[in-house]
Chains A and B, each alone.
Chain A
Amino acid sequence: MAGPAGALTGGVITIEHVHKRRGRTTILTDVGFTARPGRVTGFLGPNGAGKSSTLRILLGLDRAQQGTALVAGRPYGQWRRPLTVVGALLDGSGAHRSRTGRAHLRWVAASNGLPRSRVDEVLELVDLTVVAGQRVGTYSLGLGRRLGLAAALLGDPAVLVLDEPVNGLDAGGIRWMREFLRRRAAEGATVLLSSHLMGELAETVDDVVVIDRGRIIAAGTLAGVTGDHPTLEDAYFALTSTGTRGRW
């Protein structure tokens, strides 16, 4: 690991034998994989395959009936100031509509004892300073995602967990996100992102984990999972049920 940013190293994500039921529906069956420092791990699968459920269990939002999910060696819930360890971007902005973007980041920073100066720093980082005084309800989808990312970066964490980070972003935003995540991983961070879009992902990820109908069906390096298929997308369709269900 080169450079001073080796400080970001060390946050392995380990998920093992996770089972989740909701009522009588089985959401996840024996889900397990690892995301390593210095690499971008893409968590792929069709809509409803269990990507968000897995990430929510990893972050302690939902409970699994069985299995373990560890970040840097501990369950997420055992971190006292988790934002300094893990940055999380879930669906939407994660902010109440009638709050301003800056007010949202202020309480998030306060909850983890982070200095207020960090708020302006992350606003600058995601290029949101101009609209920071506006209410979140006036934000576009893309602006909301950037606000969510700003919150994730407040504690300068070594691990990033992002659920569909490029959803709702325009072409420029997607490129920005891709370069940002690559840079973060190059500095030693662990980046785990979920997506149902293959095109955007193939250029971003080092490792791939494919989930379908609540089960992990492939995991490995990008080259390993792509295998003999021409592209990751072809491999994905061959592996998942998406291909057999037709276009929709």
Chain B
Amino acid sequence: MVRAELLKLAGLPSVWVAVALSLLLPPVVVLLNARAASSPDTGFLELTAGVLGPLVLGTVAAGSEYRGGQIATSLVCVPSRMRLLAAKTGALVLSVAVTAAVGAVVTPAVAGVLTGGTGPRIAGVVVYWVLDALLAYGITLLTRSGVLPLTVLIVNSTVVSVSFLLTRLTPLAAYLPDLAGAQMFIEPHDVGTDLTPVTAGLVMGAWVAVLLGVAAYVFHRRDA
């Protein structure tokens, strides 16, 4: 069943665009920034932009079910909503993790900062991308359309970070999923509250767990 869900993802052109985007964008940003002074986060800060791909992947994985009546076909094939959701979530995690692992090695390599000691930070990137994809996925399961989550999450992670602005109002904003999650692999300079990478992962993981729990409950209860 996970295979069927992987086939579903692979059959959509937008999925491949998202994967290409997340693999190409961060190294390009590294190259463009090459002349700027390097910081401890060079080669990793750029990866926060690559999270665009996982956001699209998560949104498409859930939202595509509600295009062309595919959800009816999916539930006719796999009537147990929980089994369907488990397979779908598994396929998403797998494809984002593979993409992230490649991206998180290539980008620091391009920046020339890939050393033996970067292992934990690379793991941080993979976890961050996977959790961000799950965040978009969970929201889309609830809204049944990708428009809202894509707009909010992409604007927030690229153009204007509302979460970051909120840190100016309250230090608690550092516990918002995106800001907390990013601390798994970059050193925060001005978010106010400093989290260790592990705490950061747990905070973001908790957000995602709650969201997926609610989404699964709603998905289980409502008519397709």
Contacts and interface: CB of A to CB of B under 8 A. Distances in A.
Given A60-B79, A61-B76, A108-B73, A97 B67 contact: yes
Given A63-B223, A111-B1, A98 B12 contact: yes
B168 interface: no
Contacts of B7: 103, 106-107, 110
Interface residues of A, number: 36
Interface residue SS majority, chain B: helix
A134 interface: no
B68 A107 contact: no
A96 B72 contact: no
A95 B73 contact: yes
Interface string A86-103: 101011111111111001
A56 B74 CA distance: 13
Contacts, number: 90
B64 interface: yes
Given A92-B68, A93-B69, A98 B14 contact: yes
Interface of A: 22, 56, 59-63, 76-79, 82-83, 86, 88, 90-100, 103-104, 106-108, 110-112, 136, 151
10 contacts: A60-B79, A82-B77, A96-B67, A96-B68, A98-B13, A107-B5, A107-B7, A108-B77, A111-B74, A111-B77
Given A90-B69, A111-B74, 6 more contacts: A59-B72, A86-B76, A94-B68, A99-B11, A103-B11, A112-B77
Interface of B: 1, 3-5, 7-8, 10-14, 64, 67-70, 72-80, 223-224
